[in-house]
Amino acid sequence: MTDSQYKLWSFHGGLHLPGHKKMSTGQPIGKYFIPERLILPLQQNIGEPSEPIVSEGEYVLKGQLIARANGYISAPLHAPTSGTVSEITEQLIPHPSGLAATCIIIKSDGLDKWVQLSPHASYENMDPSALRNRIRDAGIVGLGGAGFPSFIKLNPGSRTSIDELVINAAECEPYITCDDMLMREHADEIIQGTLIMQHALHARQCLIGVEDDKPEALKVMSDAVKRLGHGQIKILAIPTLYPTGGEKQIIKVLTGKEAPSQGLPLDTGTVCHNVGTAAAVYQAVIHGRPLVSRIITLTGQGIKTPGNHEVLIGTPVNEFIEHNGGYHNRIGKLIMGGPMMGISLASDLVPVIKTTNCLLGQTQQEATDNNTVMPCIRCGACMDACPVNLLPQQLYWYAFARDMDKIQDYNLFDCIECGCCCYVCPSNIPLVQYYRFAKTEIWAQEREKKKSDRARNRHEFRLERLEKQKKERGERLRKKKAALNKSKSTDKKDNDKQQAIAAALTRVREKQKQHSVISKNTDNLTADQKKKIEDADKRRQQNNNEKVPSEEDSDS
């Protein structure tokens, strides 16, 4: 039963895209196979990469922790099957950059032997923080594609409770059907996982939004909700429109709330999780199983037998595809994720990671269609399609002109890179590429600015310090000088001393005078001698007179 009375909202723009969903929903989900070698990148989540705690040559069991979370925004990593850690080395990973990163390589022993698990029959009496820790320790990240550590989004933060927990089962991108198939086959797990999340968040209401192009899933889910939902959960069929599966978009559709520009849904009392994440939460909390596998849609015109398969995290893409039918010989492009937001792979020698929801093989022809780029004619088709209500034509104009101030003025950072503008552009302009360029450019500028700010601050601080030192030295000198001047003019004690010295000198002079008079044995001298003596006396007198004041001078 879907709740048809419930009011739905809508957002601006969006596209009705050809779904191509039927091609991969014909068969039930295929069981996983154990590849000989598993490649586990340490970074499979938003935030810090995990830290390996195993060493080369170590034997590990399925579900055993092999790398621990490093910091708050991080997720641990577990061995997807039993085997030996053969290497910890640089390997090609599925990333837009096409670069290599550190991975743990496990050589499987084919036994798939589980580690000792600690199941928990019920969650109701578990403390929310204990629940969050359990979910964290299971290495669960957002399985819709973003890969944000889920336990963080199960923390209501400063709020005591949140209004709505939204479970995103829109699966709006063409071709992808893994959530659809998961709902058809594991609806009970999803519902129980949702209830666990509700418990952790103290959510007042749970809303599960499913696009109405999935009637089978809607039916199964509605039945499961009736059986297990305790009246807490609503299943809502929402109109099929790309990109309804965007976090902020589905929240708007289901609750009418707009998460603030550059803010979080939590700011409006809403939390959104992917439907696959809900099932993983159930596995982790009730069965104690960490996240070691997931469901992937293998589809597209370039793939021989499209379908959905459970796959161990770390399975090399080439082996996975070969094992499930292989490529069609018209294959031209391999995309991880959907055709609107996925990343194009340069090589299939990369592993499946926690966020891999789809592998889409496009044909040569699809890959080369429509690539003559013409000038923008400002037709505004992009503006009409933009789900965020931006003006993509103006953003393009400013990105082209590298006017990074203006482009932020036009809310570049609210762009979710959904690709709607590109899809409709009659000039085939790679608009999203321009926005990515502008964003990275602005980030680089900001880093640069921070760096130069720091350098400038340091320089200014140094100048200030030098100035201060100079001032202090000047001050010290001035004080010293003043002190000396003061002592000369006003210090009484010093004055007395000087007077005493002067008196002593006078006494000495008097004494010398007397002495010179007494020692004059000059009674019987010739006039000439007398004159010479007189001259000498005069000189001595003069000398003495000059000497005393000069002594006083030098003293001051």
Considering only residues 21, 132, 153, 252, which one is a binding residue for another protein as defined by CB under 8 A?
252
For position 193 contacting another protein by CB under 8 A, the verdict is no
For position 109 contacting another protein by CB under 8 A, the verdict is no
The tally of CA atoms less than 13 A away on the side-chain side of residue 78 is: 24
Q: Is 312 helix (H, G, I), strand (E, B) or coil?
A: strand
Contact track, another protein, 436-475, x by CB under 8 A: x---------------------------------------
Q: Is 460 helix (H, G, I), strand (E, B) or coil?
A: helix
Looking at 146-154, 186-194, 429-437, 458-466, which segment touches another protein (CB under 8 A)? Answer: 429-437
Looking at 30-38, 225-233, 276-284, 427-435, which segment touches another protein (CB under 8 A)? Answer: 427-435
For position 536 contacting another protein by CB under 8 A, the verdict is no
Buried b (16+ CB within 10 A) or exposed e, 180-218: bbbbbbbbbbbbbbbbbbbbbbebebbbbbbbebbeebb
Closer CB to another protein, 9 or 59, in the complex: 9
Q: Is 53 helix (H, G, I), strand (E, B) or coil?
A: coil
Please report how close the Cβ of residue 390 comes to another protein at its closest, in angstroms. 6
Q: Which secondary-structure segment (H or E) carries 205? A: strand 203-211
CA-wise closest residue to 181 among 30, 33, 356? 30
Looking at 67-75, 102-110, 339-347, 442-450, which segment touches another protein (CB under 8 A)? Answer: 339-347
User: The tokens of 354 are what?
Assistant: 């926690």
* CA dist., res. 257 & res. 247, Å (int): 12
Looking at 126-134, 421-429, 453-461, 514-522, which segment touches another protein (CB under 8 A)? Answer: 421-429
Q: Write out 113-152 in H/E/C secondary structure.
A: CECCCCCCCCCCCCCHHHHHHHHHHCCCECCCCCCCEHHH
Q: Count the neighbouring beta carbons within 10 Å of the beta carbon of residue 132.
A: 19
For position 248 contacting another protein by CB under 8 A, the verdict is yes
Considering only residues 96, 110, 157, 256, which one is a binding residue for another protein as defined by CB under 8 A?
96
Considering only residues 339, 356, 395, 398, which one is a binding residue for another protein as defined by CB under 8 A?
339
Considering only residues 262, 490, 519, 556, which one is a binding residue for another protein as defined by CB under 8 A?
262
Looking at 190-198, 223-231, 368-376, 490-498, which segment touches another protein (CB under 8 A)? Answer: 368-376
Considering only residues 133, 347, 445, 550, which one is a binding residue for another protein as defined by CB under 8 A?
347
Q: Is 86 helix (H, G, I), strand (E, B) or coil?
A: strand
Looking at 64-72, 259-267, 450-458, 519-527, which segment touches another protein (CB under 8 A)? Answer: 259-267
Buried b (16+ CB within 10 A) or exposed e, 508-523: eeeeeeeeeeeeeeee
Please report how close the Cβ of residue 469 comes to another protein at its closest, in angstroms. 51
Q: Which residue has the tokens 């490529």?
A: 327
Residues 379-418 that bind another protein (CB under 8 A): 379-381, 383-384, 387-391, 393-394, 410-411, 414, 417
Residues 296-335 that bind another protein (CB under 8 A): 318, 327, 331-335
